[in-house]
Amino acid sequence: MTCTEFLSKLDDYFDGKVDADLLAEVQAHVKKCSHCEVVMDTTRKTISIYRENEVYEFPEELRERLHAAIMKKCSKAKA
């Protein structure tokens, strides 16, 4: 497995969607290629940082205001 092939399998690997043969290939590649090991590890961290941290705040006050505006618009359309 080349580094490019490894990268193309990364998504399926993270999702646990690789079969046993491919999994063995991916793991063997990471074992011998320290660059890909770092890329895999830091890409995984990139995803989790964005997933776990609220990048944009959505304060309750804003939610209520938006919610009211949406429902008002819809009820007007119905009338």
Partner 1 sequence: MPAIQSQVAEEVHPDVALVARAKQGDTAAFEQLVRQYERQIFRVAQHITQNREDAEDITQDAFFKAYEKLDQFQGNSKFSTWLVRIAVNESLMRLRKRKTSRTVSMDEDVRTEDGSIPRDFAEWRPNPEQLYGQGELGEILRKTIQGLPAGFRTVFTLRDVENLSTEETAEALGLSVPAVKSRLLRARLQLRERLSRYFRQTNEGANP
Binding site for partner 1 (CB under 8 A): 7-8, 10-11, 15, 34-35, 38-39, 41-43, 45-47, 49-56, 58, 62-63, 66-67, 69-71, 73-75, 77-78
Write down the H helix ranges in the chain: 3-14, 20-32, 34-52, 60-78
CB of 55 to partner 1, least distance (A): 5
CB of 3 to partner 1, least distance (A): 8
Burial 51-70 (b: 16+ CB within 10 A, else e): eeeeeeeeeeeeeeeeeeee
CB of 70 to partner 1, least distance (A): 5
